[in-house]
Amino acid sequence: MKSSLIAMSLGTLGLGIAEFIMPGILSYVANDLDISITTAGHLISAYALGVCFGAPIILLSVENFRLKNVLLFLAGLIFLGNFLAAISVNYYMLLVARFVSGLPHGAYFGVASIMAAKLADRGKSSTAVAIMVAGMTVANLVGVPAGTFLSENFSWHTIFFGVCGVAAAIFFAIKIFVPDIDNEITPKLSDRFKFLKHGAPWLLLVGTMFGNCGIFCYYSYINPLLVNVSDFEHSQLSWIMVVAGVGMVAGNLISGRICDRYAPGLVAALTQAMEAVLLIGAFYFSNKSLLSVALMFGLTFCLFALSSPQQLSIIRYSKGGEKLGAALIQVAFNLGNAVGAAAGGLPIDAGFPENYCAIVGIPFAFLGFCAHGYFHYRYEVKRQRIID
């Protein structure tokens, strides 16, 4: 396994902790800042909106810089956003900090996905991207449970200081191990957007947004769901979040290997069909403790089983604007997170228990399945026929 890919995966580790820690500590933050659970859910949306604003603005601003230097700049921005979160003393300060934390996310994935594909061995581009993304799954396997434990026993501030340490490690790992790949000839600004004139990238972006929206309707409120519906104790949440992390690791690695053999769009469509079925199960069976954990495992598996096919597909269908395309997938992903967190909180505001959040996510998952299914039929099948 190439050290350069491992170094870049440290970046997705830090971003993964920053992004996914909030569902696991939502109750602690709400209690400490004296806000409601649904108001605390806006902290998830703030990070996602930071991704949406930051990805295109940063990428277009640094287009003429060398790719390695862009990654180093983004590592510094990861440090800044999480330092602000660590020292936040009220809801509004933390809301701004979460927005700043999200700014480097999409741009990092955009640049690192291109570099991973360039550094990959022949025929292993999906696996290389999966390795780069693997840091995010490790974040959920180790970082999020650790953050939940620290929030339960110490303070939620601690975990954000920890991410600052990870950001420092990201900077030095990239500086030492990532080769200085030359940035290719920069196309005119108008040429970078030409790929958006075609239907394929739009289907990928729409499918990504709806699919992640479906899961985040449910997963944004996993902490109160496990306590109030599944009847777990707060002290048990740390090991339960490890199970969620295992699901993400398995989903990412398995889908990365499958996509080297089968069409990524087909893999994404089937994954989102499974997501819709699991959300139905989460609504009906979250009151069964062990079954609730199994369903959470399945949904987090689906969440990251989508990462590799989405990243690989957008690169294939965004010629001339690959970095922008890879970043826009992260925008779609996080826009889905933002909408999901907001939509999933509506049943709670109306007085329903947290398992009703899963019901809200089902139609979004179905729409994601339709978008990816049509993408596969319209573009991938046609592309394969041309190759044959």
pLDDT (tens digit per residue) in 104-150: 998 898 788 778 878 777 766 667 777 887 788 788 788 888 888 88
Label residue 46 by pLDDT band (50, 70, 90). very high
Q: Which of the pair, 304 or 206, is modelled with greater confidence?
A: 206
Of 315, 352, 140, nearest in space to 228 by CA: 352
Dist CA 260 CA 126 (whole Å): 6
Q: In angstroms, rounded to a whole number, what is the distance separating the alpha carbons of residues 278 and 58?
A: 36
Neighbouring C-beta atoms of residue 292, cutoff 10 Å: 23
On whether the pTM is more than 0.95, the answer is no
- Structure-model confidence comparison of residues 354 and 117, the more confident one: 354
Q: Give percent above pLDDT 90 in the chain.
A: 47
One-letter amino acid for residue 204 of the chain: L
Q: Which residue has the higher pLDDT, 327 or 34?
A: 34
Could you identify the residue written with the tokens 């990238």?
201
Q: Do 289 and 198 form a contact (C-beta atoms < 8 A)?
A: no
Asked if 55 contacts 330 with a C-beta cutoff of 8 angstroms, the reply is yes
Q: Which of 132-136, 158-162, 226-230 comes out lowest in average pLDDT?
A: 132-136
The average confidence (pLDDT) of the chain is 87
Predicted local confidence at residue 387, as pLDDT: 52
Report how far residue 102's alpha carbon sits from residue 12's, in angstroms, rounded to the nearest whole number. 12
Q: What pLDDT does residue 188 have?
A: 65
pLDDT of 192 strictly over 80: no
Asked if 177 and 6 touch (Cβ cutoff 8 Å), the reply is: yes
The packing angle between helices 322-344 and 307-316, to 10°, is: 140
Quick check: 47 pLDDT over 60? yes
- Whether the per-residue pLDDT at 317 is higher than 70: the answer is yes
How far is Cα 116 from Cα 12, in angstroms, rounded to an integer? 13
Residue 76's CB is within 10 A of a number of other CB atoms, namely 14
Amino acid code (one letter) for 122: R
Which residue's entry shows tokens 């390795």? 131
What are 198's two structure tokens? 């075609």
Burial class (CB in 10 A: 0-12, 13-18, 19+), 215: buried
Query: Is residue 200 predicted with pLDDT exceeding 80?
Result: yes
Residue 192 makes CB contacts below 8 A (sequence gap 6+) with 60, 63, 320, 321, 324
CA separation for the pair 64, 82 (Å, rounded): 27
Residue 62: the pLDDT is 74
200-214, 249-263, 353-367: which range is least confident on average? 249-263
Q: How confident is the model at residue 59 (pLDDT cuts 50, 70, 90)?
A: confident
